[in-house]
Amino acid sequence: MNAAKFLKLDLKVMKAQIKTMFLYPLTGLIMIVFLNSEATFILGYMLFGFSVLATTPFSMDNAKSYSIFYYTLPAKTDSMVMGRFLLLFTGITSFGIMSVLLVLICIVKGGSVTGIHILYYTIFTSAMFIISCLQYTMFYKVGVIKSQQFFTFIQMIPGMIIWLIMSFGNKYISEAGNHIQSVLVYGSRHLILAVLLELLPVSLVFFTCCHVSAAICRKKELK
């Protein structure tokens, strides 16, 4: 089996969880239409939703020993790990597309969405993806986490922190120091360049975590 087949297997196993994914944009839409919520609050909420669902495969490993089943499949360890990380990439891409649609709806509703807001979102999306990659590597290292409460804590806290920062930190952007303001304004005027620069650390962390996670799994197979 290659990485793509492991991705399909994860998606098949997670059918019920994938359906709940659409509850997040639906809730966001309700908040935009009926509560006139700000775009940054909605986008932060979407990142929180991603952070919860991103680690779902490992919670299923804990509950149903899917990891044991995976190790019995005829495939290289690297393919199994890459398939799981491809699932993470698919998730952040899906949430990103849904977030863009919500922003467009927010604009149609007369909401204020500036270049700085978009830059703000891309920065925190990159941060959330990097955190998720590190979480995946940690889960491969630690293995099954017996305490569901501790797993839920690890699962939700990063997204919650980012949601809070995006919701309330946005109010203090205008009060930021001159240097920070200059960077934000420059980035908002050169969004494509800013996003490309963000992709460098994101790509580095992604492939490093894939490599380290695969090495961890290979070492466990030898024991």
Quote the pLDDT of residue 84: 87
Dihedral sign (CA 65, 217, 79, 151) = positive
Q: pLDDT value at position 3? A: 80
Higher pLDDT pick, 179 / 2: 2
Alpha-carbon distance of 78 to 31, in angstroms, equals 42
Chain segment 105-155, per-residue pLDDT in tens: 888 887 777 777 788 888 889 999 999 999 999 888 887 666 667 777 777
Reported as a pLDDT band with limits 50, 70 and 90, residue 200 is very high
Over residues 85-109, the mean pLDDT reads 90
User: CA-to-CA distance for 193 and 105, rounded, in angstroms?
Assistant: 26
What is the distance between the alpha carbons of residues 173 and 192, in angstroms, rounded to a whole number? 21
Q: What mean pLDDT is predicted for residues 186-215?
A: 88
pLDDT at 86 (0 to 100): 92
Angle at 162 between CA 161 and CA 167, to 5 degrees: 100
* Length reported for the chain: 223
**Six token digits for residue 197:** 């620069």
CA separation for the pair 51, 124 (Å, rounded): 12
pLDDT of the residue at 127: 92
Instruction: Give 72: exposed, middle or buried? Use CB within 10 Å, 0-12, 13-18, 19+.
Output: exposed
Mean pLDDT of 218-223: 70
pLDDT recorded at residue 210: 93
Structure tokens given for 84? 């799981």
Q: Strands of the chain (E only): list them.
A: none
Q: Is the pLDDT at 76 greater than 80, yes or no?
A: no
pLDDT averaged over the chain? 80
How far from chain centre, in Å, is Cα 22?
A: 15
Summarised one tens digit per residue, pLDDT across range 15-70 is 777 888 888 899 988 988 888 878 888 888 899 989 888 888 777 655 555 555 56
Residue reference for tokens 């360890």:
77
